[in-house]
Every structure is written in structure tokens, then in C-alpha cells.
Amino acid sequence: MKRNPDIPGVTLIEVLIASGLFVLVLVLVGQLTVAAYWSHSQTTSKNQVMRDGSIALDRLNRELSMCTDLLLPDPAVPETDYQGTQPLVFRTYTSRANPLPESVLAYRFDSARKALERRVYEPSFDPADPVTQIPMGEPRIVAQKVVGFKYRIVAPALTGGTPFVRLQLELYGIDSVQPLGTATRVKSL
């Protein structure tokens, strides 16, 4: 098609090329917008998971630091790694000034829901007697998107007589597993 220089306007081919370029620019802008939105949502989700995991681990640290009696697993067997659904059960007190037992707390990894659960039991809890293992309400989810919960009772002989419990919470990241870990000094085992 040859264009007549005397007639103003554009040819059909010029209109099709201009329309195609315009659509191409719109598609590119749309793709960039979707990619930016997806990246922002993934980062926000990961930050929320890490924040929730940090808060749960901090709470567990505070409660474990008030522990005066570790019930499960057996503290007589230190330097053993516990992971999976093995619960960490301990007796905690309201404060140093109040020696009355507040409750028995249990933290457990629920592999079906991929979450860390916190359960409260009656103060009469005895690991050897199932009749005394009475929960007070439903378990509470303290962290979600959990891959694993590991802990280790450090032998007091290795830490100068001070009992420690090493904790690690593994959370889903964007493209990998993100571990959060800490060591908590407990009053006694």
C-alpha cells in the first residue's frame, strides 16, 4: 500500500502497528504491576511469619525462664535433641515473689496444622499419671507456618552448673526454611 501524499491521515498498517505497540506497552506495565504486587505480598507474608515466630519464641523464653520443674522430656537425660511432635512440658510460677504454682505449660509442634501449640494444664499434672493430665481449654496456636520445633536440654556440667534449654523454631520462608533459635537459662531442672 502506497500512501498518497495529498490525502492527510494514516494508513491501516500504521494504525495496526501503533495499536500493537500501545497494547504491548500496556501488557508490560500490567506485568510489572503484578510482579511488584506479588513481591510485596510475599515479603509482607514472610515478615509476618517471622514476627509471629519471634514473638512465640520470646514468650516461650520468658515462660521457660520461670520454670522450676521440667516435666517432659526427662531432664535426667541431657544432651538429647528433641524434635517433631515431642512436647516440652514444664511447671511455671506467676512470679518470684509468689511461690504458688500458676500452671503447667506444654509447647508442641502440630505437624498436621504446621503450627506451634501452647497448652495449659492443671497444676496437679504428673507425667507418669494420665489421669492428672487435665488440659485447661483448647490448645492455642502461637506460631503458624512452622516447619519444625527442636529443643535440647544442655547438661548443667557443660555450662558451669547453670541449666539451659536450647530452642529452635523453623519457619517457612519465601524460598527456604528460616530458623529462629535461642538458649534459655532456667531456674532448675
The residue with greater pLDDT, 24 or 66, is 24
What is residue 8's predicted lDDT score, i.e. its pLDDT? 77
38-57 confidence digits (pLDDT tens):
989 888 888 888 899 899 99
Q: Is residue 98 part of a domain?
A: yes
pTM of the model: 0.72
Q: Is residue 12 part of a domain?
A: no
| Short-list 169, 177, 150, 140, CA closest to 53 | 169
Distances in Å between the Cα of 73 and the Cα atoms of 16, 89, 171 are 74, 7, 23
- Which residues touch 132 (CB under 8 Å, ≥6 apart)? 122, 124, 125, 126
Q: Is residue 107 part of a domain?
A: yes
Rounded to the nearest 5°, which phi and psi values hold at 2?
Answer: -105, 135
> Exposure pattern of 106-115 as b/e (b: 16+ CB <10 Å)?
bbbbeeeebb
Show the domain range for 77.
Answer: 46-185
Q: Is residue 28 part of a domain?
A: no
Q: Is residue 150 part of a domain?
A: yes
Task: Please count the structural domains in the chain.
Answer: 1
- Angle CA(18)–CA(22)–CA(28) in degrees, nearest 5? 145
What is residue 55's predicted lDDT score, i.e. its pLDDT? 92
Q: Is residue 127 part of a domain?
A: yes
Q: Is residue 33 part of a domain?
A: no
Q: Is residue 32 part of a domain?
A: no
